[in-house]
């Protein structure tokens, strides 16, 4: 993409309304703009990040055997009366009335809707197990929307729902999702620790939250420094490897402040105890037959007796992740994107726009890298180009100046380490491609 023809409205000044780094940087790098309290427009560069995260989430959900679908954002109030949550949900639910005075709402989550769909679409125990998910906008009328997309009112969530015939099978679905989450975070390039957590509005008794450590996190967390997510990508989806993975990840102590267990904490050797702050980027719940019973969803079992499906639900805050990743990965100069989700893999800086030699080299590189390269082809000073490339946070900067160009070389800069390499165009392209 050519920066001269792109809408990436960077800001030099720090926006006054932004209290934390990720919010400031998202505004300054031209990723989002606030349209109303807690409601954001995603500009082209921001949308590229959101879409890359969603795609990794999608691939790992698919790999776990979950099926993608798409439920609407607007739901009927009657559906929520069936579970009893219409009144219980309170002021966070945005309630709407249509022209026929029918009560609707903008969905904050989808347990009721998916239960109604399965109730209608399944006939016998043979139709289970099932895991379904969608990636859809949610609305929660938060009392205090803040920190940009970290606590918005409208936000993008991946939510999955599992339906099983018995506890054993439901617990397997739960562990499968935990593995899918760990694989997802590893591929994105961040560490998110699974922590024992309260179940809140959703209900049930087994739950983990996934936290990215950051001093600005809203949750107090306790964890064993020995925690290592290990290599989730090498773990298969067979029941045995899932079980071994779950054991390894949950025997090491980690909990949010609500679930801090002093006795378990005392077992962790003192030098390994860590207290910190975390940003919740995902949460998984097992809640048994809570919704299937309340909503009259039962299936005839092998002997004809009624089986109420055992359910779980599994959320990832796709839009919150964008802010959380920046919170964990930035410096004074700007964002430091992990390779897998950067808006552009590389920024291409032409230090003398209009010079026949630098222009030709840049055109060649831009042609090879295509849309994943942001070509700064503006008539701007080198200093401005350097500062913006650092701010937007491209994993690589390919710097084309007249001196190197004369001898056929370019400078390659790695944003995360600051390393610089003087390379031929071919070698620079090869290095970017291999990362």
Q: By beta-carbon distance, which residue lies closest to ligand ATP? A: 317
Residue of 107, 152, 278, 312 interacting with ligand ATP (CB under 6 A): 152
| 154, β-bridge pairs | 139
Q: Which of 85, 119, 151, 290 binds ligand ATP (CB under 6 A)?
A: 151
Among 306, 297, 309, smallest CA distance to 162 is for 309
| Pairing state between β 330-331 and 334-335 | antiparallel
Residue 283 interacts with Mg ion (CB under 5 A)? Answer: yes
Task: Give CA–CA dist 270/155, Å, rounded.
Answer: 39
Give, in order, the Cα–Cα distances in Å from 343 to each of 8, 53, 409: 11, 10, 26
Binds 290: which of Mg ion, ligand ATP, none (CB < 5-8 Å by kind)? none
207 sits near Mg ion (criterion: CB under 5 A): no
283 near ligand ATP, rule: CB under 6 A: yes
Residue 10 C-beta: closest distance to ligand ATP, Å: 24
Q: Does 256 bind ligand ATP (CB under 6 A)?
A: no
Tell me whether residue 149 or residue 410 sits nearer to ligand ATP (CB atom): 149
Q: How far is the CB of 280 from Mg ion (least distance, A)?
A: 5
Please give the radius of gyration of the chain, using alpha carbons only, rounded to the nearest integer: 24
> Shortest gap between Cβ of 107 and ligand ATP (angstroms)?
12
**Quick check: helix, strand or coil at residue 104?**
strand
Interacting positions 315-344 with ligand ATP (CB under 6 A): 315, 317, 319-320
Residues 71-130 that bind ligand ATP (CB under 6 A): 109
In whole angstroms, the minimum distance from the beta carbon of 210 to Mg ion comes to 9
- 256 is an interface residue for Mg ion by CB under 5 A: no
For ligand ATP (CB under 6 A), the number of binding residues is: 16
- Alpha-carbon torsion (79, 80, 86, 91), positive or negative: negative
If binding is defined by CB under 6 A, does position 183 make contact with ligand ATP? no
Q: What are phi and psi of 406, to 5 degrees?
A: -60, -35
Q: In 3-state terms, what secondary structure has residue 231?
A: coil
The CB density around residue 216, as the number of other CB atoms within 10 Å, is 17
Nearest to 255 by CA among 231, 287, 219, 286: 219
53 contacts ligand ATP (rule: CB under 6 A): no
Question: For residue 21, how many C-alpha atoms fall within 13 Å in the half-sphere facing its CB?
Answer: 18
Specify the residue, 109 or 358, whose C-beta has the smaller distance to ligand ATP: 109
Among 82, 224, 280, 390, binds ligand ATP (CB under 6 A): 280
CA distances from 6 to 35, 44, 397 (A): 20, 8, 18
Q: How crowded is residue 398: how many other Cβ atoms within 10 Å of its Cβ?
A: 28
| Residue 281 binds ligand ATP, judged by CB under 6 A | yes
Q: Which stretch binds Mg ion (CB under 5 A): 147-155, 167-175, 283-291, 380-388?
A: 283-291
Q: Does 27 bind ligand ATP (CB under 6 A)?
A: no
Q: Which whole-number Å values give the CA distances from 38 to 109, 155, 215, 290, 320, in the listed order?
A: 17, 9, 22, 31, 12
Whichever of 137 and 241 has its CB closer to ligand ATP, that residue is: 137
Q: Contact positions toward ligand ATP, by CB under 6 A?
A: 109, 140, 142, 151-152, 155, 157, 200, 280-283, 315, 317, 319-320
């Amino acid at each position: 993409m050519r920066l001269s023809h792109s809408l990436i409205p960077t800001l030099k000044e720090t926006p006054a309304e932004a209290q934390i780094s990720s919010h400031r940087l998202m505004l300054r790098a031209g990723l989002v703009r606030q349209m109303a309290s807690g409601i954001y427009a995603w500009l082209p560069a921001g949308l590229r990040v959101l879409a890359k995260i969603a795609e990794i989430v999608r691939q790992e959900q698919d790999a776990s055997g979950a099926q993608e679908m798409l439920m609407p954002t607007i739901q009927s109030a009657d559906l929520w009366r069936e579970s009893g949550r219409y009144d219980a949900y309170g002021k966070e639910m945005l309630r709407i009335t249509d022209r026929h005075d029918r009560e609707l709402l903008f969905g904050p989550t989808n347990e009721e809707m998916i239960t109604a769909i399965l109730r209608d679409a399944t006939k016998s125990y043979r139709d289970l197990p099932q895991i379904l998910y969608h990636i859809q906008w949610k609305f929660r009328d938060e009392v205090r929307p803040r920190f940009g997309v970290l606590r918005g009112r409208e936000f993008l969530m991946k939510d999955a729902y599992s339906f099983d015939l018995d506890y054993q099978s439901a617990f397997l679905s739960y562990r499968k999702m935990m593995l899918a989450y760990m694989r997802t975070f590893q591929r994105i390039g961040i560490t998110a620790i699974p922590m024992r957590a309260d179940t809140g509005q959703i209900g049930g008794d087994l739950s983990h939250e996934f936290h990215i450590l950051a001093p600005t996190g809203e949750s107090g967390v306790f964890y064993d420094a020995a925690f290592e997510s290990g290599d989730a990508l090498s773990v298969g989806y067979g029941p045995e490897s899932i079980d071994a993975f779950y054991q390894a990840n949950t025997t090491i102590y980690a909990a949010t402040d609500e679930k801090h267990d002093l006795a378990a904490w005392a077992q962790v050797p003192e030098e390994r105890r860590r207290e910190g702050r975390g940003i919740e980027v995902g949460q998984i719940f097992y809640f048994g037959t809570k919704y299937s019973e309340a909503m009259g969803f039962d299936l005839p079992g092998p002997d004809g007796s009624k089986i109420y499906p055992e359910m779980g639900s599994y959320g990832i805050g796709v839009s919150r992740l964008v802010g959380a990743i920046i919170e964990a990965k930035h410096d004074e100069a700007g964002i430091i994107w992990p390779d897998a989700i950067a808006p552009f893999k590389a920024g291409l800086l032409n230090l003398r726009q209009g010079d026949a030699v630098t222009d030709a080299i840049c055109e060649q590189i831009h042609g090879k890298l295509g849309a994943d390269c942001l070509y700064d082809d503006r008539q701007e000073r080198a200093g401005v180009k350097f500062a913006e490339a650092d701010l937007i946070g491209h994993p690589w900067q390919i710097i084309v100046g007249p001196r190197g160009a004369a001898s056929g070389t370019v400078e390659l800069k790695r944003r995360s380490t600051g390393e610089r390499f003087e390379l031929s165009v071919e070698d620079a392209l090869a290095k970017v491609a291999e990362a």
